[in-house]
Structure formats: C-alpha cells, structure tokens
Amino acid sequence: MNLYDRFQAGLPVAEFIAKYGTPPQASRWKQTFDAIALTDAQKTLLKSFRREMNVLVLAGVWCGDCSGQCPIYDRFAEVAPSIHVRYIDRDEHADVQRELQINGGNRVPVVVFFSEDGHEVGRYGERTLSKYRAMMEQHAGASCPTGLVQHDIPLLAQVSQDWLNEFERVEWVLRLSSRLRSKHGD
C-alpha cells in the first residue's frame, strides 16, 4: 500500500473536522488547540526545521485521544511552515487502519511521516509515553513503579513534548539524509 497517496488525498484539519465532526467534537479539538502553550525553546526548535515534512494522520474526529493530541501537530505546523499535516478518517480508510494497526488493534491517532518526495521516514502513535505513564499511575495507583510521572507539568505539555521529540527525530533524519543533502546541496 502506498500511504503517501493517502497523504496527498488527506485533508487539512479544518476540512477534516468539518467533514467528519459534529459541533461538540469540533469544540473539543479547538479547546485542546487553544490550550497548547509551546515554550520559547520549543518554538525556536520548530522554527529551525528546514526540510519539508509531510505528516499523514489516521484519526477520528470523535476520538478522545485524537482530540487530545492531533491539535498538537497543527500547533507545530503553525510555527514550522515546513510541516504539512493531512488527516484521513480511520473508518473511511479501513485498509489504512489495517496497515497501521498497533499491537493487533485499530488505534488512533497514528502518524506516518514522509519526506518531501514521499518516502516514509517513520510511524508513531497512538499515545505517547507520558500519557501511558499517567494512565498506568491511574490504573495501578501508588504501586505504579515508573516513578516518572511529572505532576508539576501539565499532561498536555508533557504529551506535546513527547510528540515534539518525534517530529524533531524525523527532521534530523531528513536533514542528515545523504539523498536529500545531495538534492539540496547542504
């Protein structure tokens, strides 16, 4: 399956939400977007991105994990014009959902990163490590062995940083690619 074709057919977030969402669902996505407060250091990093990064997001407007994370990608793209995010609906694209299963299950959001010319660079999803740590602490209570839940930092900020780490990793893969360095003369 050529997932880059799906990126090219994907929708920007506003069109995706308008096509598949209800007003209350759209409100949840906007509420998350408005709550994302990137630090100056995060903005500086994003502004340093040079390579075109195409980001396909398999999502559902109805999905709580999606409304709680996907707006982060669009906040990144707002700061870094080299990031292009497109969404496809998991139910409408069941074949992509099967291709992107995690642990044998249908999960969203799942992100596939592509170079400017459609080569897959990486995949990541559906919840970040910080989210799983918080969930594990809720599940196991005081017996949670991670000891790594940061109660002094809001979970949205932690999840935003987790996602930024993935976007940064992809940027460095793209920037250090001998193929792309040769193409761009850097």
Using CA atoms, how far residue 111 sits from 87, 105, 136, 146, 184, in Å, is 9, 15, 23, 26, 26
Q: Could you give the CA distance from residue 63 to residue 52 in angstroms, rounded to a whole number?
A: 28
Domain 3-184 in CATH: superfamily?
Answer: Glutaredoxin (3.40.30.10)
The structural domains of the chain, with segments of one domain joined by +, span 3-184
| 82 vs 116: CA distance, rounded Å | 9
Judging by beta carbons within 10 Å of its beta carbon (0-12, 13-18, 19+), is residue 178 exposed, middle or buried?
Answer: exposed
Question: pLDDT 10s digit of each residue in the chain, 186 long?
Answer: 999 999 999 999 999 999 999 999 999 999 999 999 999 999 999 999 999 999 999 999 999 999 999 999 999 999 999 999 999 999 999 999 999 999 999 999 999 999 999 999 999 999 999 898 888 877 776 555 555 555 678 999 999 999 999 999 999 999 999 999 999 999
Supply 49's token pair: 């991105």
Q: What angle do CA 64, 67, 70 make, to 5 degrees?
A: 130
Model confidence, pTM: 0.93
